[in-house]
Amino acid sequence: MNSTIVTFPDGRVSGRSEIVLAVPAGDRHGLVVAETPFHPLDHTWPDQPADRGTIGGLPVVDCVTGAWSADGFHLGEEIPVRRGAEGWQWLVVHVTDTPLPVGAAVELEVDAGHRTALSTGHTACHLAALALNSALAGHWRKETALDGLGHPDFDQAAITSSRISPNGSVDVYRLGKSLRKKGFSADGLDLDEVAGEANDRLKAWVAADAPVRLDVPGPELTARRTWHCSLPEGAVSIPCGGTHLPRTSELGAVTVSLSLDDAALTMRTTATPPA
């Protein structure tokens, strides 16, 4: 059993392949093919939801990561190691209500509209993180790791979860003791001002029609892919396993709103792509 070859990083939404493994997925069926355009939910950092679509004409009701090693097969949250761990084969598992036989050649069709909406949400999410880093730069009292635009990387230092949805995302950051020790001060934090600054920057980045691309070092699911965007202030790159739009102008408009609840800062990002 080899790792699944994936074509979603190149923007593909259809393909044809052979079923190489069928495994139980609860009381449903998990189908693995040699090569797929489907993006599965990642078990380590489950930011971008699974693609929807069909396999062999059957609805794909879920698409998850599977991992195979000498001690057997594990699915999704049951995988005991981190994404890409050595000694494991990493598989895209298409979950269906009806079984299909191993050896069958099947057509794979991703719901292209849903994929585009998730790509929109994911590209907006990365830009919003960079805009937030920039707007919060004045709150750092110590030197810390910088993002690709030279701002203290608040996003990397504080993020606890990121959830992408069609045309949007919700990112949660912890403003606790450990972030304070790293040098971030929330004193005098004016959320409206920070959001306003971030939104001005996002507006400029969409207007700049900056190109976005993924660097894909290999065809396997767990290849270490990198998101690149050439913004007016400079070229930025972020490790990323998801899918993206090819240009920032396709986001239409991007805005963030911020809320603070105990020590959690939540950023809601919304894109409004042109009709």
Contact positions toward Zn ion, by CB under 5 A?
Answer: 240, 242
Cα gap 112→117, rounded to integer Å: 9
The least distance separating Zn ion from the CB of residue 37, rounded to whole angstroms, comes to 18
Task: Kindly tell me which of 74 and 122 has the beta carbon lying closer to Zn ion.
Answer: 122
CB of 30 to Zn ion, least distance (A): 25
Residue that is written with structure tokens 């004193």 in the block: 187
Least Cβ distance, residue 39 to Zn ion (angstroms):
11
Q: Determine contact, residues 147/156, Cβ cutoff 8 Å.
A: yes
List the structure tokens of 80: 């005991």
The sign of the dihedral angle between the CA atoms of 69, 74, 76, 80 is: negative
Place of tokens 């069909």: 54
CB of 36 to Zn ion, least distance (A): 19
Measured from the CB atom, is 33 or 212 closer to Zn ion? 212
**Residue 90 vs 227, nearer CB to Zn ion:** 227
Residue 188 region, left (φ>0) first, then alpha (ψ -120 to 50), else beta? left
Q: Which is nearer to Zn ion, 67 or 159 (CB)?
A: 159
Q: Residue number with the shortest CB distance to Zn ion?
A: 240
**Chain centroid to CA 19: how far?**
26
What does the DSSP assignment read for 128-185? HHHHHHHHTGGGB-S---B-TTSSB-HHHHHEEEEEEETTEEEEEEE-SHHHHHHTB-
Cβ closer to Zn ion: 100 or 210? 210
Compute the least distance from the CB of residue 238 to Zn ion, in Å.
6
Residue 96 or residue 133: which is nearer to Zn ion going by CB? 133
* Distance of closest approach, residue 112 Cβ to Zn ion, in angstroms: 20
The residue type found at 245 is L
